Structure 1
Protein backbone atom coordinates (compact mmCIF):
# COMPACT_ATOMS: atom_id res chain seq x y z
CA UNK A 1 0.00 0.00 0.00
CA UNK A 2 1.39 3.41 -1.01
CA UNK A 3 1.57 6.38 1.33
CA UNK A 4 -1.24 8.18 -0.54
CA UNK A 5 -3.62 5.30 0.12
CA UNK A 6 -3.51 6.18 3.80
CA UNK A 7 -5.14 9.52 3.00
CA UNK A 8 -8.45 7.98 2.02
CA UNK A 9 -9.72 8.73 5.54
CA UNK A 10 -10.61 12.47 5.46
CA UNK A 11 -10.01 12.87 9.22
CA UNK A 12 -6.52 11.42 8.93
CA UNK A 13 -5.79 13.60 5.90
CA UNK A 14 -6.93 16.71 7.79
CA UNK A 15 -4.65 15.82 10.72
CA UNK A 16 -1.67 15.24 8.39
CA UNK A 17 -2.31 18.60 6.69
CA UNK A 18 -2.58 20.36 10.07
CA UNK A 19 0.64 18.75 11.33
CA UNK A 20 2.48 19.61 8.12
CA UNK A 21 1.26 23.23 8.33
CA UNK A 22 2.53 23.41 11.95
CA UNK A 23 5.85 21.96 10.80
CA UNK A 24 6.10 24.62 8.09
CA UNK A 25 5.29 27.40 10.57
CA UNK A 26 7.88 26.05 13.01
CA UNK A 27 10.58 25.68 10.34
CA UNK A 28 10.06 29.23 9.07
CA UNK A 29 9.94 30.72 12.59
CA UNK A 30 13.24 29.06 13.51
CA UNK A 31 15.20 30.54 10.61
CA UNK A 32 17.73 33.21 11.38
CA UNK A 33 20.09 35.48 9.56
CA UNK A 34 19.50 37.53 6.45
CA UNK A 35 18.18 34.58 4.46
CA UNK A 36 15.84 33.73 7.34
CA UNK A 37 14.48 37.26 7.32
CA UNK A 38 13.91 37.05 3.56
CA UNK A 39 12.17 33.71 3.90
CA UNK A 40 10.00 34.95 6.76
CA UNK A 41 9.01 37.99 4.69
CA UNK A 42 8.20 35.81 1.70
CA UNK A 43 6.21 33.41 3.86
CA UNK A 44 4.26 36.31 5.37
CA UNK A 45 3.52 37.61 1.86
CA UNK A 46 2.21 34.24 0.73
CA UNK A 47 0.13 33.82 3.91
CA UNK A 48 -1.15 37.35 3.35
CA UNK A 49 -2.89 36.12 0.19
CA UNK A 50 -5.20 34.11 2.40
CA UNK A 51 -4.68 32.82 5.95
CA UNK A 52 -5.35 29.25 4.87
CA UNK A 53 -3.26 29.42 1.67
CA UNK A 54 -0.38 27.29 2.99
CA UNK A 55 -2.62 24.60 4.50
CA UNK A 56 -4.63 24.45 1.28
CA UNK A 57 -1.42 24.17 -0.75
CA UNK A 58 -0.21 21.35 1.51
CA UNK A 59 -3.53 19.57 1.07
CA UNK A 60 -3.29 19.85 -2.72
CA UNK A 61 0.35 18.71 -2.80
CA UNK A 62 0.08 15.91 -0.25
CA UNK A 63 -1.10 13.08 -2.54
CA UNK A 64 1.59 13.80 -5.13
CA UNK A 65 4.18 14.27 -2.41
CA UNK A 66 3.39 10.92 -0.85
CA UNK A 67 3.48 9.28 -4.28
CA UNK A 68 6.91 10.83 -4.89
CA UNK A 69 8.15 9.73 -1.45
CA UNK A 70 6.69 6.24 -1.67
CA UNK A 71 9.75 4.61 -3.34
CA UNK A 72 12.08 5.98 -0.65
CA UNK A 73 9.62 5.05 2.11
CA UNK A 74 9.23 1.53 0.67
CA UNK A 75 13.02 1.09 0.72
CA UNK A 76 12.89 2.05 4.38
CA UNK A 77 10.11 -0.43 5.08
CA UNK A 78 12.44 -3.12 3.72
CA UNK A 79 15.19 -2.01 6.10
CA UNK A 80 12.80 -1.88 9.05
CA UNK A 81 12.69 1.88 9.71
CA UNK A 82 11.13 3.94 6.92
CA UNK A 83 11.14 7.22 8.86
CA UNK A 84 14.86 6.93 9.56
CA UNK A 85 15.44 5.97 5.92
CA UNK A 86 13.76 9.21 4.77
CA UNK A 87 15.98 11.14 7.18
CA UNK A 88 19.15 9.36 6.02
CA UNK A 89 18.13 10.11 2.43
CA UNK A 90 17.05 13.67 3.05
CA UNK A 91 18.67 14.93 -0.16
CA UNK A 92 16.64 12.49 -2.29
CA UNK A 93 13.56 13.26 -0.23
CA UNK A 94 13.98 17.00 -0.76
CA UNK A 95 14.55 16.52 -4.50
CA UNK A 96 11.38 14.43 -4.76
CA UNK A 97 9.31 17.09 -2.99
CA UNK A 98 10.84 20.06 -4.79
CA UNK A 99 10.25 18.40 -8.16
CA UNK A 100 6.54 18.58 -7.43
CA UNK A 101 6.53 22.19 -6.28
CA UNK A 102 8.74 23.28 -9.20
CA UNK A 103 6.21 21.82 -11.64
CA UNK A 104 3.27 23.40 -9.81
CA UNK A 105 4.89 26.83 -9.65
CA UNK A 106 5.67 26.74 -13.37
CA UNK A 107 1.95 26.33 -14.04
CA UNK A 108 0.79 28.85 -11.42
CA UNK A 109 -0.96 32.03 -12.49
CA UNK A 110 -0.32 33.68 -9.14
CA UNK A 111 2.50 36.12 -9.79
CA UNK A 112 3.09 36.81 -6.08
CA UNK A 113 3.63 33.14 -5.28
CA UNK A 114 5.76 32.67 -8.42
CA UNK A 115 7.90 35.67 -7.53
CA UNK A 116 8.45 34.61 -3.93
CA UNK A 117 9.21 31.02 -4.94
CA UNK A 118 11.62 32.17 -7.65
CA UNK A 119 13.55 34.34 -5.20
CA UNK A 120 13.76 31.61 -2.57
CA UNK A 121 14.15 28.49 -4.71
CA UNK A 122 17.96 28.43 -4.61
CA UNK A 123 17.95 27.99 -0.84
CA UNK A 124 14.85 25.79 -0.75
CA UNK A 125 16.60 22.42 -0.86
CA UNK A 126 18.51 23.06 2.36
CA UNK A 127 15.30 24.17 4.08
CA UNK A 128 13.38 21.14 2.84
CA UNK A 129 16.22 18.86 3.95
CA UNK A 130 16.06 20.50 7.39
CA UNK A 131 12.33 19.73 7.57
CA UNK A 132 12.67 16.06 6.56
CA UNK A 133 13.03 14.72 10.14
CA UNK A 134 9.79 16.42 11.17
CA UNK A 135 8.01 15.25 8.03
CA UNK A 136 9.28 11.71 8.52
CA UNK A 137 7.89 11.74 12.07
CA UNK A 138 4.49 12.97 10.83
CA UNK A 139 4.33 10.30 8.14
CA UNK A 140 5.47 7.64 10.58
CA UNK A 141 2.77 8.66 13.10
CA UNK A 142 -0.01 8.33 10.55
CA UNK A 143 1.18 5.17 8.89
CA UNK A 144 1.23 3.35 12.23
CA UNK A 145 -2.40 4.07 13.01
Structure 2
Protein backbone atom coordinates (compact mmCIF):
# COMPACT_ATOMS: atom_id res chain seq x y z
CA UNK A 1 0.00 0.00 0.00
CA UNK A 2 1.26 3.47 -0.89
CA UNK A 3 2.38 5.80 1.86
CA UNK A 4 0.04 8.72 2.46
CA UNK A 5 2.12 11.86 2.90
CA UNK A 6 -0.14 13.34 5.53
CA UNK A 7 0.38 10.32 7.76
CA UNK A 8 4.12 10.13 7.03
CA UNK A 9 5.09 13.79 7.38
CA UNK A 10 2.63 15.22 9.86
CA UNK A 11 2.88 12.53 12.51
CA UNK A 12 3.64 14.26 15.80
CA UNK A 13 6.75 12.11 16.34
CA UNK A 14 8.19 13.08 12.92
CA UNK A 15 6.93 16.59 12.32
CA UNK A 16 9.79 18.38 14.04
CA UNK A 17 12.37 16.43 12.03
CA UNK A 18 10.52 17.20 8.80
CA UNK A 19 10.40 20.91 9.64
CA UNK A 20 14.11 20.84 10.60
CA UNK A 21 15.02 19.33 7.24
CA UNK A 22 12.82 21.78 5.35
CA UNK A 23 14.37 24.72 7.22
CA UNK A 24 17.80 23.39 6.23
CA UNK A 25 16.54 23.12 2.65
CA UNK A 26 15.56 26.81 2.71
CA UNK A 27 18.95 27.75 4.19
CA UNK A 28 20.73 25.75 1.47
CA UNK A 29 18.62 27.25 -1.31
CA UNK A 30 19.36 30.77 -0.09
CA UNK A 31 23.07 29.98 0.32
CA UNK A 32 23.20 28.76 -3.31
CA UNK A 33 21.76 31.98 -4.75
CA UNK A 34 24.15 34.09 -6.78
CA UNK A 35 24.26 37.36 -8.63
CA UNK A 36 22.68 40.64 -7.64
CA UNK A 37 19.25 39.20 -6.86
CA UNK A 38 20.90 36.35 -4.96
CA UNK A 39 22.81 38.85 -2.87
CA UNK A 40 19.61 40.70 -2.09
CA UNK A 41 17.89 37.46 -1.09
CA UNK A 42 20.81 36.49 1.14
CA UNK A 43 20.90 39.89 2.81
CA UNK A 44 17.15 39.98 3.43
CA UNK A 45 17.08 36.40 4.66
CA UNK A 46 19.95 37.02 7.10
CA UNK A 47 18.24 40.16 8.40
CA UNK A 48 14.93 38.38 8.97
CA UNK A 49 16.65 35.51 10.79
CA UNK A 50 18.61 37.95 12.96
CA UNK A 51 15.58 40.06 13.86
CA UNK A 52 13.40 37.06 14.65
CA UNK A 53 15.33 33.83 15.19
CA UNK A 54 13.19 30.79 14.53
CA UNK A 55 10.90 32.58 12.09
CA UNK A 56 11.72 30.24 9.20
CA UNK A 57 11.12 27.12 11.29
CA UNK A 58 7.88 28.59 12.61
CA UNK A 59 6.63 29.57 9.16
CA UNK A 60 7.38 26.12 7.75
CA UNK A 61 5.67 24.46 10.70
CA UNK A 62 2.60 26.66 10.25
CA UNK A 63 2.35 26.00 6.50
CA UNK A 64 3.40 22.34 6.50
CA UNK A 65 -0.10 20.86 6.57
CA UNK A 66 -1.14 22.90 3.53
CA UNK A 67 2.10 22.16 1.66
CA UNK A 68 1.66 18.42 2.28
CA UNK A 69 -1.89 18.64 0.99
CA UNK A 70 -0.63 20.39 -2.15
CA UNK A 71 2.03 17.70 -2.70
CA UNK A 72 -0.18 14.70 -1.95
CA UNK A 73 -1.56 14.26 -5.51
CA UNK A 74 1.97 14.30 -6.92
CA UNK A 75 3.17 11.82 -4.32
CA UNK A 76 0.21 9.54 -5.04
CA UNK A 77 0.92 9.59 -8.78
CA UNK A 78 4.65 9.07 -8.22
CA UNK A 79 4.04 6.19 -5.81
CA UNK A 80 1.63 4.52 -8.22
CA UNK A 81 4.05 4.62 -11.16
CA UNK A 82 6.23 1.57 -11.82
CA UNK A 83 9.65 1.78 -10.20
CA UNK A 84 12.16 3.47 -12.46
CA UNK A 85 9.57 4.56 -15.02
CA UNK A 86 10.54 7.57 -17.08
CA UNK A 87 13.04 10.24 -16.07
CA UNK A 88 11.94 10.35 -12.43
CA UNK A 89 14.39 8.25 -10.45
CA UNK A 90 13.34 9.92 -7.20
CA UNK A 91 10.53 12.16 -6.03
CA UNK A 92 12.69 15.27 -6.50
CA UNK A 93 13.23 14.41 -10.16
CA UNK A 94 9.52 13.65 -10.48
CA UNK A 95 8.61 17.11 -9.16
CA UNK A 96 11.28 18.83 -11.25
CA UNK A 97 9.92 17.14 -14.39
CA UNK A 98 6.66 19.11 -13.97
CA UNK A 99 7.81 22.42 -12.52
CA UNK A 100 4.88 24.67 -13.46
CA UNK A 101 1.98 22.79 -11.89
CA UNK A 102 3.96 21.73 -8.81
CA UNK A 103 5.28 25.23 -8.13
CA UNK A 104 1.81 26.72 -8.65
CA UNK A 105 0.31 24.18 -6.23
CA UNK A 106 2.88 25.10 -3.57
CA UNK A 107 2.64 28.83 -4.18
CA UNK A 108 -1.14 28.54 -4.02
CA UNK A 109 -0.66 27.85 -0.31
CA UNK A 110 1.22 31.08 0.30
CA UNK A 111 -1.03 33.02 -2.08
CA UNK A 112 -4.07 32.04 -0.01
CA UNK A 113 -2.30 32.93 3.24
CA UNK A 114 -1.23 36.33 1.92
CA UNK A 115 -4.71 37.06 0.59
CA UNK A 116 -6.24 36.19 3.96
CA UNK A 117 -3.82 38.35 5.94
CA UNK A 118 -5.12 41.53 7.49
CA UNK A 119 -1.59 42.91 7.86
CA UNK A 120 -0.87 45.35 5.03
CA UNK A 121 2.91 45.04 5.46
CA UNK A 122 2.76 41.29 4.81
CA UNK A 123 0.55 41.56 1.76
CA UNK A 124 2.68 44.38 0.35
CA UNK A 125 5.98 42.52 0.76
CA UNK A 126 4.47 39.28 -0.55
CA UNK A 127 3.10 40.97 -3.67
CA UNK A 128 6.58 42.32 -4.42
CA UNK A 129 8.30 38.97 -3.89
CA UNK A 130 5.70 36.76 -5.60
CA UNK A 131 6.82 37.29 -9.24
CA UNK A 132 10.28 35.82 -8.49
CA UNK A 133 8.95 33.18 -6.10
CA UNK A 134 7.99 30.67 -8.78
CA UNK A 135 11.53 30.56 -10.14
CA UNK A 136 12.89 29.99 -6.63
CA UNK A 137 10.37 27.25 -5.89
CA UNK A 138 11.16 25.50 -9.17
CA UNK A 139 14.87 25.56 -8.32
CA UNK A 140 14.12 23.96 -4.95
CA UNK A 141 11.93 21.11 -6.26
CA UNK A 142 14.69 18.46 -6.48
CA UNK A 143 15.76 19.08 -2.87
CA UNK A 144 12.17 19.29 -1.70
CA UNK A 145 11.35 15.94 -3.28
CA UNK A 146 14.35 14.30 -1.64
CA UNK A 147 13.34 15.62 1.79
CA UNK A 148 9.77 14.41 1.32
CA UNK A 149 10.91 11.00 0.12
CA UNK A 150 13.36 10.63 3.00
CA UNK A 151 10.64 11.16 5.59
CA UNK A 152 7.98 9.19 3.74
CA UNK A 153 10.31 6.20 3.66
CA UNK A 154 10.90 6.20 7.43
Q: Distance in 1 between matches of 2:125 and 2:144?
A: 23
> Which residue in the other structure is 2:77 paired with?
75
Contact 1:69/1:93, CA 8 A, preserved across alignment: yes
- Over the aligned positions, Cα root-mean-square deviation in angstroms equals 1.9
Q: Where do 5+ consecutive residues of structure 2 fail to align? A: 84-88
Q: Secondary structure at the match of 2:102?
A: helix
Q: Distance in 2 between matches of 1:52 and 1:111?
A: 22
Q: Compare 16-25 and 99-108 and name the one that shifted more.
A: 99-108
Cα 1:123–1:86 change in 2 (3 A) is same
TM-score normalized by the length of structure 2: 0.83
Contact 1:2/1:70, CA 8 A, preserved across alignment: yes
Q: Where do 5+ consecutive residues of structure 1 fail to align? A: none
**Once the 2 structures are TM-superposed, how far is the Cα of residue 113 of structure 1 from its aligned partner?**
3.9
The correspondence for 1:39, drawn from 41, 50, 73, is: 41
Contact 1:68/1:96, CA 8 A, preserved across alignment: yes
TM-score normalized by the length of structure 1: 0.88
Aligned residues: 145
Q: Which structure is higher in helix share?
A: 1
Contact 2:9/2:151, CA 8 A, preserved across alignment: no
**Once the 2 structures are TM-superposed, how far is the Cα of residue 112 of structure 1 from its aligned partner?**
4.5
